[in-house]
Structure 1
Amino acid sequence: MFNPRPAIRVVPLPDKEHLVIVDDLLLEPHKMVELARQSRADFSDADHNYFPGPELNLPPALAQAFDQFIIGHVRKPLGARRTSMLATRLALATLQPPQLQNLQRVCHRDTVPQPGMEGTGAMVLYLFHDIRLGGTGFFRQTCSDAAFTDMVLRSRGMERDAFTALTGAGPGYAVASDRYFEKVYTAQPAWNRAIFYPGTVLHSADIHSPELLVDDVQTGRLTVNAFFNLRRNAAGA
């Protein structure tokens, strides 16, 4: 299922974290697209996270296979001692800018920092050919933690225009710096390319052309999104 000799590179991110980029991840990526096509009726809209479209949990055997790849190829570049899979989903981005909630218009973390060496990692596997559908942008926080928390709390009851005035966010996806965050890196998409990163790193789908998002797994922005527990190495280990 997985390429035994994938091309791997590591990119530094803020706070001494790293992004791991793996090209040619799957030996037969078209089979994952075909699984998505056959299962499209079983996708459901996400109401528990920031993902802007329907998702489908992958079978446990596939989730375990992804975890084994992480253990074999990505664990060390991420600085992790061990990992265990939490969730692995096929995901299709479809929302247009007017449909986005306020917090979907700014970057986010998948998890808050945990005590000790415990944490959460994330993966995005791009399963589309049209690079205009967008990769993933990474950010660093430029405001205080108190201001960040205040923005999140206030966003839930704000009108779109008021949220724009508060944050400087654009009308659509978070593709640029704003008053709270500075964009520091863009992971460009490529067919069968996967990126792995700590869940505490601020990020957002880098979608500049939302008009290209379609409800079609064969031509739309189809990805596999995964989240996994990781036990970090101690400093210097």
Structure 2
Amino acid sequence: MPDIVARQIGTERQPIAIVDHFHPDPDGLRAFAAAARFEPARRQYPGMRAALPDDYFDAVRPAMLQVLVHVFGHRGGIALLDASFSVVTTPPERLSIEQRLPHFDAVDPNRIALVHYLGADDSGGTAFYRHRATGFETIDVQRAPAYLDTLNAEVRTAPPPPAYIVGSTAQFEQVSAVDGRCNRAVIYRSALLHSGAIPADAVLSDDPARGRLTVTAFLSLT
């Protein structure tokens, strides 16, 4: 049975949900991923992605519905925007500037992100951040211009080192983190500033049986 824990994080007290035992057959998912065809990811994801089994969301629907009702207070519909297996493969020295920083996925408060960890327990989780200069932990339509202008100026002056962000930095304060454990999911609003918490010694393999394998998904509350 899924085990759901809710948190309110940072000064903005945004809800996140941590769900252990998220999928009824994680070994079957890992086996499916091992045979899947991975391709370079779109957007800014530092790795590869592959298609999910057709029945993935049928299997996790009971847990998702509990989270949406009890953590996000949503009793309406939900639309799937994008979902895939993902594996982090980009070495630190090849990261773009954007990949070295926390990011947000959407400014719409009705957009929800899901990360379902399927790799080893030491392959890294997800961290959430506050931008020190603006104080923002979430980015909406009104905040986006000021945030991006300020961040771009900071990056021009002091670009981040070629590494995955770990903990707090001069520009960002880590306000919460979720450890990645096999068959754990974290669910949060896409507007939250966040980043994969990739350990310095993480195995950045394109083999899903060895690397940081997750399911990443984006949904819209309707």
TM-score by length of 2: 0.84
Query: Could you tell me which residue of structure 1 aligns to residue 128 of structure 2?
Result: 138
Amino acid paired to 1:228? L
Following the alignment from structure 2 to structure 1, what is the Cα–Cα distance between the partners of residues 88 and 206?
8
Tell me how far 1:87 sits from its aligned partner.
1.5
Q: Equivalents in 1 of 2:87, 2:4: separation in Å?
A: 25
8 Å CA contact 1:20–1:195 kept in 2: the answer is: yes
Q: 1:105 to 1:98 in 2, by over 3 A?
A: same
1:188 equivalent to 2:211? Answer: no
Return the match for 2:188 from 177, 197, 204.
197
Q: Which SS does the other structure have where 1:213 is aligned?
A: coil
Paired AA for residue 80 in structure 1: H
2:205 match: 214
Q: Report % sequence identity.
A: 30
Q: Does 1:22 align with 2:19?
A: yes
Counterpart among 4, 7, 10 of residue 6 in structure 2? 10
In structure 2, do the counterparts of structure 1 residues 149 and 73 end up closer, same or farther at CA, with 3 Å as the change threshold? closer
Q: For 2:75 and 2:157, how far apart are their aligned partners in 1? A: 43
Structure 1 residue runs of 5 or longer lacking an equivalent are 156-162, 232-237
List alignment gaps of at least 5 residues for structure 2.
Answer: 135-142
Q: Compute the displacement of 1:208 (Å).
A: 2.0
CA distance in 2, matches of 1:204, 1:98: 17
Task: Kindly indicate which of the two structures has a greater share of residues assigned to helix.
Answer: 1
Report matched runs for 1:1-237 at 5 Å.
5-14=1-10, 15-39=12-36, 42-48=37-43, 50-67=44-61, 69-82=63-76, 83-112=78-107, 114=108, 119-131=110-122, 133-144=123-134, 145=143, 148-150=147-149, 163=155, 165-167=157-159, 169-231=160-222
- Deviation at residue 28 of structure 1 after TM alignment: 1.5
CA drift at 1:78: 2.1
Q: CA deviation at 1:128?
A: 1.3
* C-alpha RMSD of the superposition: 2.3
Q: Quick check: 2:22–2:63 contact (8 Å CA) kept in 1?
A: no
Give the structure 2 partner of residue 160 of structure 1: none
Shift of 1:58: 2.2
Residue identity in the other structure for 2:33: A
- Counterparts of 2:157 and 2:199, CA distance in 1: 21
Tell me, in whole angstroms, the C-alpha distance in 1 between the residues paired with 2:58 and 2:106: 21
Q: State the alpha-carbon separation in 2 of the partners of residues 68 and 228 from structure 1.
A: 15
**Alpha-carbon separation, structure 2, partners of 1:80 and 1:174:** 32
**More displaced stretch, 98-107 vs 142-151:** 142-151
